[in-house]
C-alpha cells in the first residue's frame, strides 16, 4: 500500500515516516503506527488557527527521495502539503484535509559557501538562524531576518518570499536568490541551482517559485547571495507623539542616515503594553512615560565613527525640532538586543493573550494609522472591545520603511462573529487605497479566495493557467492560494 511504498523510498523509514496507519508489512524497517496526537505539531499551525488531519508525515533526507515521493503521489493522485518550519501565518503549511505532509526539516545540509562572492548554497530545510550563524564566522550575514528565524527554514522563506526586518536595506528574495533546485509535481527535478549574478538566458524560471507557497513545486535547495556582516550596528528607539511625527522622523532619518539605514520599524502604545504584559522574555520599557507611537531604527555600516557621527547629528535635529519626545540609543549588544525585543516580541505576546486575527497589508504610509483606528472604532461601536469583551486589543505595528502595516486583533476565540466585523471591510479598504492584502506573509489558506482585492482578473487568470500547466490535478497544496484550488 501507499505507506509501504513511502517506506521503501526513504533511507531511514524508522525515523522519517510518521503515520497513524497500520500496514500488513512485517519488515523491521516499517515504523509502528503512532497515536494521532503525535502528528498534532504537523497538523496545526503556529497560531493554532488552522488544523488538518493528515495521517502521514514524510521527512525525506535527499532531493532524490523528494522526487520519488512526488512521482509516486503524482501517479496515485495523492495530495501533498510541503512543510518547512511551520511558522507561516496564513495557514499554508498545514493540511486542510488529509494531504500527505512532506516536511523538509531533515533535508538540512549546507552545500557550499564561497567566501569571495558571499554565495551560499543550502538545502531547503536549513534553519534561517543556523545559516546566519554559519556564515557569521566568515564575516557574512543572511540578507533576511525574521522574528521566526530560530524555526523557519530557508526553503519556507523562499516559498513565501518572506520580507522581514532587513528588507529595507537588502531588498526582496526576488533579488537575492540566485538559483533554486525544485522538484516539480510530476517528480522531475528542475536543477536551477546557479550561482551566477547575471544570466539572461530565457525566462527566469526561479522567480515563479519564489512566493509560490508550495503550490507548483517543492524547493529542495537554494542558492543565495549574502552581504558582508556590518562591523558597526546601532539601534535606537524613539518615542513620538503622533503618526504624522512617525513619518517626519522617517524623512529626517533618511536624510541623515539613508545609506546606512538597515531598519525603520514602528509600533503603537498598545503594542508596547502587549509586549510588557505578555511576552515570554522579560521586557523593560526604556521610557518613563507612555507615548502614542514608537519608532525603532537600526543603522549598519563598516566604520563605527562615521555612523556615530551621523547618529549624533540626527539625534540633535530630532530633539531640537521636537519630532521626537524621548529616545534611547543602545550602548552595548545587550541593550541592542533588548531594544529589538520590544518590536520582535509583538507577535508572540499577542499570541499569548488570545486568538489573533492577523492582517499584513501594503498601503501608502500616511493611511496606516487611520485603518488601525478605524478597526478599533468598529469594535467599540459594537461594544466588543476591552476587558471582558470578545476583542481584547487591536495593535498596529510594522515595517514603515517598506510601507507594510501589521494589524493584530487579539480576541477570545476565532469566532465568525468577530471575523465578520473585520472582513471583507478591511480588504475593501485596502483595495480602495490600491494596497496589497498580503504584503509579505502570502495567501495560503487564509487569502487565496481574496486575491481579487489586489490583483486584476487577467493576472489571476494567468496564474490559474500556470498552476494548471504545472499541477493539472491540483495535488500540491490544494484548497489554498488561488480561487480555483478551493473547488
Closer by beta carbon to ligand 2HG, 81 or else 152: 152
**Which residue has the closest beta carbon to ligand FAD?**
156
CB distance 260 to 300 below 8 Å: yes
Backbone phi and psi for residue 198, each to the nearest 5 degrees, phi listed first? -120, 135
Q: Return the one option of ligand 2HG, ligand FAD, none that residue 82 interacts with (CB less than 5 to 8 A, by type).
A: ligand FAD
Site string for ligand 2HG, 405-444 (x = CB under 6 A): -x-x------------------------------------
Least distance between ligand 2HG and beta carbon 408 (Å): 5
Q: How far is the CB of 433 from ligand FAD (least distance, A)?
A: 21
Where helices occur in 103-242 by DSSP H, the ranges are 128-136, 154-160, 167-170, 173-176, 206-209
CB atoms within 10 A of CB 448: 24
- Quote the CA–CA distance of 102 and 96 in Å, as a whole number: 14
Residue 405, all three cell numbers:
502595516
- C-alpha span between 102 and 104 (Å, rounded): 6
Quick one: 234 or 408, whose CB is closer to ligand 2HG?
408
Assigned C-alpha cell, 2:
501507499
d(CA 139, CA 115): 9
| Residues 65-104: x where in contact with ligand 2HG by CB under 6 A, - otherwise, as a string | ------------------------x---------------
- Contact yes or no for 45/54 (Cβ under 8 A): no
List the grid coordinates of 189. Answer: 527535478
Closest CA to 210 of 261, 234, 175, 238: 175
Q: Within 238-297, which residues bind ligand 2HG (CB under 6 A)?
A: none
Q: Is there binding between residue 347 and ligand 2HG (CB under 6 A)?
A: yes
Q: Of 225 and 274, which CB lies nearer to ligand 2HG in the complex structure? A: 274
- Residue selected from 147, 390, 435, 448 as contacting ligand 2HG according to rule CB under 6 A: 147
E-strand stretches of 209-354: 218-225, 232-240, 261-268, 293-301, 326-329
- Minimum distance from CB of 348 to ligand 2HG (Å)? 9
* Cα 224 from chain centre: 17
Least distance to ligand 2HG from the beta carbon of 196, Å?
31
Convert residues 31-70 into a mask of x (bound to ligand 2HG by CB under 6 A) and - (unbound): ----------------------------------------
Considering the complex, state which of residue 310 and residue 445 has its C-beta at the smaller distance from ligand FAD: 445
| Residues 163, 165: Cα–Cα separation, whole Å | 7
Report the residue number, 182 or 346, with the smaller CB distance to ligand 2HG.
346
Q: Residues in the site for ligand FAD, rule: CB under 6 A?
A: 46, 81-89, 92-93, 104, 124, 146-148, 152-153, 155-157, 159-160, 162-165, 213-214, 218-219, 347-348, 440-441, 444, 477
User: Smallest Cα–Cα separation from 76: which of 176, 122, 9?
Assistant: 9
**Nearest-angstrom CA–CA distance, 259 and 255:** 9
The smaller minimum CB distance to ligand FAD, of residues 169 and 441, is found at 441
What are the φ and ψ backbone dihedral angles of 73, each rounded to 5 degrees?
-65, -35
Q: Which is nearer to ligand FAD, 89 or 385 (CB)?
A: 89
Cβ at position 420, least distance to ligand FAD in Å: 25
By CB under 6 A, name the binding residues for ligand 2HG: 89, 147, 347, 358, 360, 406, 408
Amino acid at each position: 500500500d501507499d505507506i509501504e511504498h513511502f517506506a521503501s523510498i526513504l533511507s531511514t523509514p524508522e525515523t522519517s515516516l510518521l503515520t497513524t496507519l497500520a500496514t500488513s508489512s512485517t519488515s523491521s524497517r516499517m515504523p509502528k503506527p503512532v497515536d494521532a496526537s503525535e502528528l498534532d505539531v504537523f497538523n496545526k499551525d503556529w497560531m493554532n488557527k488552522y488544523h488538518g488531519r493528515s495521517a502521514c508525515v514524510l521527512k525525506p533526507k535527499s532531493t532524490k527521495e523528494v522526487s520519488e515521493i512526488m512521482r509516486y503521489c503524482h501517479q496515485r493522485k495523492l495530495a501533498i502539503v510541503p512543510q518547512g518550519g511551520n511558522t507561516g501565518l496564513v495557514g499554508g503549511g498545514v493540511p486542510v484535509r488529509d494531504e500527505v505532509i512532506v516536511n523538509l526539516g531533515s533535508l538540512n545540509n549546507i552545500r557550499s559557501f564561497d567566501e569571495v562572492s558571499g554565495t551560499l548554497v543550502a538545502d531547503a530545510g536549513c534553519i534561517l538562524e543556523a545559516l546566519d550563524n554559519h556564515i557569521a564566522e566568515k564575516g557574512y550575514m543572511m540578507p533576511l531576518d525574521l522574528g521566526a528565524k530560530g524555526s523557519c527554514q530557508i526553503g519556507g522563506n523562499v516559498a513565501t518570499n518572506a520580507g522581514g526586518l532587513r528588507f529595507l536595506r537588502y531588498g526582496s528574495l526576488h533579488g537575492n536568490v540566485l538559483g533554486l533546485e525544485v522538484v516539480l509535481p510530476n517528480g522531475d527535478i528542475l536543477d536551477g541551482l546557479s550561482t551566477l549574478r547575471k544570466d539572461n538566458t530565457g525566462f527566469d524560471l526561479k522567480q515563479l517559485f519564489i512566493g509560490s507557497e508550495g503550490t507548483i513545486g517543492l524547493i529542495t535547495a537554494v542558492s543565495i547571495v549574502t552581504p558582508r556582516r556590518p562591523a558597526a550596528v546601532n539601534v535606537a528607539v524613539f518615542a513620538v507623539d503622533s503618526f504624522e511625527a512617525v513619518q517626519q522622523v522617517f524623512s529626517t532619518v533618511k536624510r541623515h542616515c539613508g545609506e546606512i539605514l538597515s531598519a525603520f520599524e514602528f509600533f503603537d502604545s498598545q503594542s508596547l503594553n502587549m509586549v510588557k504584559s505578555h511576552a515570554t522574555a522579560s521586557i523593560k520599557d526604556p521610557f518613563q512615560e507612555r507615548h502614542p507611537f514608537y519608532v525603532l531604527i537600526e543603522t549598519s555600516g563598516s566604520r563605527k565613527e562615521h555612523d556615530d557621527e551621523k547618529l549624533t547629528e540626527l539625534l540633535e535635529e530630532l530633539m531640537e525640532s521636537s519630532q521626537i519626545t524621548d529616545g534611547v540609543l543602545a550602548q552595548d549588544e545587550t541593550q541592542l538586543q533588548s531594544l529589538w525585543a520590544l518590536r520582535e516580541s509583538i507577535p508572540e505576546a499577542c499570541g499569548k493573550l488570545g486568538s489573533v486575527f492577523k492582517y499584513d497589508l501594503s498601503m501608502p504610509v500616511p493611511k496606516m494609522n487611520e485603518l488601525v483606528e478605524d478597526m478599533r472604532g468598529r469594535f467599540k461601536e459594537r461594544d466588543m472591545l476591552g476587558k471582558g469583551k470578545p476583542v481584547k486589543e487591536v495593535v498596529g505595528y510594522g515595517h514603515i520603511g517598506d510601507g507594510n502595516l501589521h494589524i493584530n486583533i487579539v480576541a477570545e476565540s476565532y469566532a465568525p462573529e468577530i471575523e465578520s466585523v473585520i472582513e471583507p471591510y478591511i480588504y475593501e479598504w485596502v483595495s480602495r487605497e490600491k494596497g496589497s492584502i498580503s504584503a509579505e506573509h502570502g495567501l495560503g489558506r487564509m487569502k487565496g479566495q481574496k486575491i481579487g482585492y489586489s490583483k486584476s482578473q487577467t493576472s489571476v487568470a494567468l496564474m490559474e493557467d500556470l498552476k494548471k500547466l504545472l499541477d493539472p490535478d491540483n495535488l500540491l497544496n490544494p484548497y489554498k492560494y488561488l480561487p480555483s484550488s478551493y473547488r
